[in-house]
Each structure stands twice: as C-alpha cells, then as structure tokens.
Amino acid sequence: MIANKMNDLVKNSSVIRAMFEEGKRLASIYGKENVYDFSLGNPSVEPPKEVKEAIIKILNEEDPNLIHGYMNNSGYEDVREKIAQSLNQRFQTSFDENNIIMTVGAAGGLNVIFKVILNPGDEVITFAPFFGEYKNYVSNYDGKLVVVSPNTVDFQPNLTEFSNKITKNTKAVIINTPNNPTGVVYSEETIKDLSKILNQKQEEFGTSIFLISDEPYRELVYDDIRVPYITKYYNNTIVGYSFSKSLSLPGDRIGYLVIPNEVDDFEDMVAAANVATRILGFVNAPSLIQRAIAECLDAKVNLDIYNRNRELLYHSLISYGYECVKPQGAFYLFVKAMGGDDKAFVQAAKEFNILLVPGSSFGCPGYCRIAYCVDYEMIERALPAFEKLAQKYGVNKE
C-alpha cells in the first residue's frame, strides 16, 4: 500500500535497523561496555550551559503566546536579525534579517531550498564522499544527484571531473565542509577554483548554478583552521546552517538558510523559501528554541573533548597501521578499509564488537567512517579491538 518511491527506502531502512539490532544483540552477549559503537553522528558533548539558561529565562520573562505561537514562516524577525549581525561580525558580510530563513535543522533547510529551485530532471552535483541523505533530498523534488568521484589523496574535491560534469541542466552544487564523513575542510584555494569554474559555466550555459554550502560542522574545527565563508567567494551561494553540532541540539531541529542579496532573483528566492517552509509542513522552525539560540550565538560546545578523542583515536590507529587523512573538523575519521572491501571490513570489525559505517554509504567504497563523538573511555576500551582487527588483516606496524 505504500508509494512505489518508498519501497526501496523502506528496504534500506531495514538494513540500518538490522545493524542497530545487531548492536543491541552484541551488547546483550558481551555487555554494553564491551561493544564499541562508532556508527552514529549523535553529539556526545553536552550543550553549553547558556542554552538551558536561555530557555529558562525566556520561559520566565517573555510572553507565552509569543514564544510558543506562530510567527512569520521564515522565523522571528528579531532572531533573524541577531543571526545576521553575528555573521556580519564574524565574517565581514552584510546580511540583515531578510537574508535569513529559520529552518528545521540543516536537513529542513536543504529540503526547502531544493523545493524552491528544482524542476523535475534538474541536476545537483556533489563530491564523494558525501552525506547519503543528499540523494533523498534531491529525489524528493524529482531532481538527479550527480556525483563527482572522490579524490582519496587528500579528499579535496576533484575539480577537473567536476568541471566536466556541469551541464545546462546543472541547477545546484552541494558542498559540505568540514566534511561528513572525512572531517576534511575545503581550502580557500579550492573554494576560489570551484567558484571560478561555476562562474565560467554559468556564462557558458547562460544559467544560474547555485552553490549550496551545507555547514552543520562549521564550528567544529581544530588546530585554528579557518573555514572560508562561501558567500564571499561566489554570488549564487546559499548557506544551510544547523545548531545541531555547534550547540549539541540535533534533536531540537534548529538551523537557518542564508540567501544573500547577490543571489539571482533574490526577492523570488526568499519569498519561495518562506512558502516552501510552510507547505512542506515545517510551517516554521520550532519557536522556543529559535528564541533560545538567538541568545547563544557566541556559545559553543567544548571542542577540547572532541579534539582529545580525535588525537587519541587518530594516533592510535595510525600506530596500528590504519591509513587515514587527519581530520581538521567535524567528529569523524575516514579510514581505508583493510583488504579493500569496505562492507567486508565493517563485517570483520563487528567480530571485534566494533560498529562502523561503510564508505559505500557515502559514495566512497574502500573506506569506512568512524564517528568519534563518543566517550573517551569507550575509545580507550576499543583500542585493543582495533589493534586486533588490524592484526587479522596482517597489518601491524609495531
């Protein structure tokens, strides 16, 4: 009775569910503390205390019908203005409330923008490895996701192949930096080169090509790395942001889109984003949490905790003989699957009670993702298992 389009998706979801059940089964046999689940991107660091303080203050001081009521479908004007000013201060941009659309997380924002721009058959380009949901988001509006193959040397995008894959049907390009699953940050040089190609292709085809920057991991960077603010490099940029990771609020579903004045058909774009927010059933981003994050724009989760995890896991794995580009951001390591077959490697890891996600899920077979948004102590307990796993493959540097 379910729609044809849903059939495969439901089958896939039962694979994920089976993996989840397998984790529970292993925990019931070996004890929860002896199963090492690195499969989920659910933040392990607590939200900063400012979030709780802001929510309670708002509940105590503001009008209940304002904080729980409908507002403009694009969000509260004062919240949007505060976000605009915060961006201006940090990135020397010139936004105001009219450039900001509050969204139900980044996932909600991406769906809104694809609803706004995609006609059936339009192409959206992304770079492998990529967040697997992009395929679904584009398919929701009958678009086609075109994937540029991975550059596994440093996981910067392969711009030559990119340039060749742009056609007159290319409506958008979606990038994700810091990247899930590699943790790699696209360099300023990369962004400049990418922008140059896009400008050339827009001129060549007489089209508008939107560069959608999906930025849930913007604030999660280490070693003083700077993440370029994309709107400054390319006019037709739209930013999708989320507070899911920067404030550890993924369940609360709060984020925003930035649509700069420079975007083609700006007025129509923001009007359409407002309408799309409504008719897709979001109606508006959740109200109380909108008001709360506006009071926490300078707050950030404790990155030292993730960084400590990153250092321990990265250096240990390298010492065991794993191959991996050291991540500069996010909370993932993307390691080469020993033996070459990522699905087989993930199965082998399971024998050591280690749960990972195969790179195939990100359009990059031969690798697998380790999410280190977990307890430090779990990483410590898991290290001997990772070592044994490497030994099983006959890889051992020590």
Q: Which of residues 117-146 bind a copy of itself (CB under 8 A)?
A: 117-119, 133, 136-137, 140-141
Contact positions with a copy of itself (CB under 8 A) in 65-94:
65, 67-71
Contact positions with a copy of itself (CB under 8 A) in 322-381:
none
Q: How far is the CB of 350 from a copy of itself (least distance, A)?
A: 22
Q: Is residue 3 a contact point for a copy of itself (CB under 8 A)?
A: yes
Q: Is residue 206 a contact point for a copy of itself (CB under 8 A)?
A: no
Site map 161..180 versus a copy of itself, x via CB under 8 A = --------------------
- In the list 35, 79, 100, 112, the residue contacting a copy of itself (rule: CB under 8 A) is 112
141 vs 186, beta carbon nearer a copy of itself: 141
Q: Is residue 98 a contact point for a copy of itself (CB under 8 A)?
A: no
- In the list 15, 18, 29, 271, the residue contacting a copy of itself (rule: CB under 8 A) is 271
Q: Is residue 14 a contact point for a copy of itself (CB under 8 A)?
A: yes
- In the list 265, 323, 351, 380, the residue contacting a copy of itself (rule: CB under 8 A) is 265
Q: Is residue 64 a contact point for a copy of itself (CB under 8 A)?
A: yes
CA angle 72, 77, 79 (to 5 degrees): 115
Q: Is residue 101 a contact point for a copy of itself (CB under 8 A)?
A: no
Three state DSSP letters for the chain: CCCHHHHHHHHHHHHHHHHHHHHHHHHHHHCHHHCEECCCCCCCCCCCHHHHHHHHHHHHHCCHHHHCCCCCCCCCHHHHHHHHHHHHHHHCCCCCHHHEEEECHHHHHHHHHHHHHCCCCCEEEEECCCCCHHHHHHHHCCCEEEEECCCCCCCCCCHHHHHHHCCCCEEEEEECCCCCCCCCCCCHHHHHHHHHHHHHHHHHHCCCCEEEEEECCCCCECCCCCCCCHHHCCCCEEEEEECCCCCCCHHHCCEEEECCCCCCCHHHHHHHHHHHHHHCCCCCCCHHHHHHHHCCCCCCCCHHHHHHHHHHHHHHHHHHCCCECCCCECCEEEEECCCCCHHHHHHHHHHCCEECEEHHHHCCCCEEEEECCCCHHHHHHHHHHHHHHHHHCCCCCC
- In the list 23, 150, 181, 250, the residue contacting a copy of itself (rule: CB under 8 A) is 250
Q: How far is the CB of 46 from a copy of itself (least distance, A)?
A: 5
Q: Is residue 61 a contact point for a copy of itself (CB under 8 A)?
A: no
Q: How far is the CB of 125 from a copy of itself (least distance, A)?
A: 17
**Binding-site size, a copy of itself (CB under 8 A):** 76
| Segment interacting with a copy of itself (CB under 8 A) among 2-10, 180-188, 223-231, 350-358 | 2-10
103 vs 158, beta carbon nearer a copy of itself: 103
- In the list 9, 18, 225, 344, the residue contacting a copy of itself (rule: CB under 8 A) is 9
